[in-house]
Amino acid sequence: MSQPTSAEEITHRLVSSPAGRIHLVEQGSGPLVLLVHGFPESWYSWRHQLPVLAAAGYRAVAVDVRGYGRSSKPGDVAAYRMLDLIEDNVAVVQALGEQTAVIVGHDWGATIAANSALVRPDVFRAVGLLSVPYAPRGGPRPSEIFAQMGGDQEFYVRYFQEPGRAEAEIEPDVRGWLAGFYAALSADTMPPADAPDPHFVSPGGTLRDRFPADRLPAWLSEDDLDVYAAEFERTGLSGALNRYRNMDRDWEDLADFDGSPITQPSLFIGGSLDASTTWMADAIEAYPATLPGLVSSHILDGCGHWIQQERRAEVNEILTGWLASLPA
């Protein structure tokens, strides 16, 4: 499998969007494949996919989602609602002179990709989801669900939803916090099953209390960590965390899509050790109804959350095979 090539072979661009600007990294030519990262990452999380997709004959484009990296960072929390992120993705496709794209996302990027395909099927002709399954809008208000999880412990999503609270934990030591967060959700460094769950916060504690210390997962070099840390040290974490602070707003905005399936050709790849996959097993089982255009679904044995970095060769093989199967 091809390995990442030199930075000189990729192009960095800034394009106009409703956010102001979106920073993207582009490699290759051919049908457009838009890659959307999750939390807390950047375009860099796709560094192993860009050259492989380019070599396979695609125009691979990885964005910094608004609030991240070199993309604009609006000050209003409501500016990070899902509908705005969908508009950013459409603006990127248009700015690149294209009419349609395949969209692929990981983590929050998977949810953004799914909703982009749902709301704008005229633009996004196929959708690939990594780590986070598609679950149609429905049920109670999200904040009500999160408040009931964990008993006397607090679910991390709820912890992230209060402006300034998680920032106060993370920003004094961005690099150390990121290292722990990445390690906590990686197959080779995650806490054992009988250890306190790193997705929850103890009363009066912090999320970091449950992170592994002093070890990096095999997929993450010191240089890679430096790249991620430098971006967040420059931008802060509020833009990234504001995605979590819009979940109730998204639930309201997307009411017209309650229970709606995504009908375009789709792909799912999850890790067997990733809570995003295991906790949402029911969503995966519902794919015949919710993703009727599903081409294939894969659970990578022994893989954690950072799937396209942990298991880049397998993910690249699955992605290129799926893309080759799509109608021209």
**150 and 295 in contact (C-beta within 8 Å)?**
no
**Active-site pick, 37, 48, 106, 305:** 305
Q: Residue 203 in 3-state DSSP?
A: coil
Sheet containing strand 124-130, edge to edge, reads 11-17, 20-27, 59-63, 32-36, 101-106, 124-130, 266-271, 294-300
**Active-site pick, 64, 84, 107, 274:** 107
Of all helices (H) and strands (E), which one includes residue 30? Answer: none
Cα separations (Å) of 189 from 194, 217, 302, 310? Answer: 14, 6, 12, 12
- CA separation for the pair 45, 155 (Å, rounded): 25
Q: Is 107 a catalytic site residue? A: yes
Length of the chain: 328
**271 and 303 in contact (C-beta within 8 Å)?**
yes
Q: Is 208 exposed, middle or buried (0-12, 13-18, 19+ CB in 10 A)?
A: middle
Task: Please tell me the chain's helix, strand, coil percentages from 3-state DSSP, rounded to the nearest 5.
Answer: 45, 15, 40
List the catalytic residues. Answer: 107, 305
